[in-house]
Structure 1
């Protein structure tokens, strides 16, 4: 099962991941898919650029080393039990990151047991999670980053208007940052599915099926645009 899922997930194009990111955007009703995709591309570039700047500054791509250089406190904790939203790592302002390392270890074991290490780029799951959260540290430190800017006008009345950020772009950039830092040549979003497998396999299956539906929708929209 896992092998088949990975093959399908690895084949998903950028527009599918853009649609997935948009599905998590609270202001998605104010955007078309095409408009959001432009933000998605720029947020991705923001994340990759920040990764390269950090690597150049500290001459390392090791997220553990970089967390030390940035003065970040990293805590390794067991994943919380009970109902609610499942998370795999958390960032607490201004400089603390928690990693649920037991789940990360279990995912690593599942990937190894399925013989998928090479297919997935031999990614160290712990390093991936830490890298993702490190972007949020950098984001907090620099309010001029693209993902911190206000992109959407909520309303306008004469000279008065109100604008808002697109909070989903933070995650887009963090994913791109982690991928760039670790040299991953696919969107790390696929780990949203894989990370659920040890503790919530039913949720993993539902998310996988949802992504496959998004794939079909993207293909259908592309065909409609050709007509």
Structure 2
């Protein structure tokens, strides 16, 4: 009997998770998850997802066939590097306000060498750049859902401290890239596969989290 390829098994499981599952997973990882009511959580996830979809449609309508990486290079400073220290956290790219995107080429090459369906190096870079482009566009538009939606953290003498929820931004960025690339599964599949490349032991807890919220 031929043993199943562990990487193929992982890929198949990851690509089967629904959009809602990935959204719930991202929200559970937010530092403020215990400060949010179930009603707020539902509202934020739905609003952030719609925000990413609408912005993707706007970018497509305004810029036509121009790819998001090309747009990102026009409006941001894009730097390339080989890698970043990777353990529990995986970085394919990072965004630093106001307009700096750093892309890590060596991890992308590692992913491309896995030879998984739809993941050549050019496509991987596009998926990743689209995600980071969302964060730039978000910073330019205070009317976006992920900028204006806040939760109250504490009160003091009539003052309420309110803050945005980071998970909302990540959900919107995921959805933005997902929509622009017309992917059949979440762009976050890349992050888990990359974790498999660098730190296999860290993959099991991620899968447990995803299975726990699978809907």
TM range (shorter): 0.7 to 0.9
Which residue is 2:10 aligned to? 5
Which residue is 1:187 aligned to? 186
CA contact (8 A) 1:131 1:178 kept: yes
Matched, 1:117 2:125: no
Which residue is 1:31 aligned to? 36
Note the C-alpha offset of 1:84: 6.8
Which residue is 1:212 aligned to? 211
Q: How many residues align?
A: 210
CA RMSD of aligned residues (A): 2.5
SS of 2:196's equivalent in the other structure is coil
Note the C-alpha offset of 1:104: 0.9
CA contact (8 A) 2:26 2:167 kept: yes
RCO comparison, higher one (Cα < 8 Å, 6+): 2
Which residue is 2:153 aligned to? 154
Q: Greater shift after overlay, 78-87 or 58-67?
A: 78-87
Matched, 1:108 2:107: no
SS of 2:152's equivalent in the other structure is strand
Q: How does 1:1-227 map to 2 (within 5 A)?
A: 1-33=6-38, 35-60=40-65, 62-70=67-75, 72-81=76-85, 85-110=89-114, 112=115, 116-118=116-118, 124-156=123-155, 159-215=158-214
Q: 1:82 to 1:124 in 2, by over 3 A?
A: closer
What TM-score results when the alignment is normalised by the length of structure 1?
A: 0.82
For 1:63 and 1:175, how far apart are their aligned partners in 2? 14
What TM-score results when the alignment is normalised by the length of structure 2?
A: 0.86
Structure 1: gaps spanning 5 or more residues: 219-227
CA contact (8 A) 1:132 1:175 kept: yes
Structure 2: gaps spanning 5 or more residues: 1-5
Which residue is 1:224 aligned to? none
CA contact (8 A) 1:61 1:182 kept: no
SS of 1:195's equivalent in the other structure is helix
Note the C-alpha offset of 1:180: 1.0
Q: 1:58 to 1:7 in 2, by over 3 A?
A: same
For 1:52 and 1:83, how far apart are their aligned partners in 2? 35
Note the C-alpha offset of 1:157: 5.7
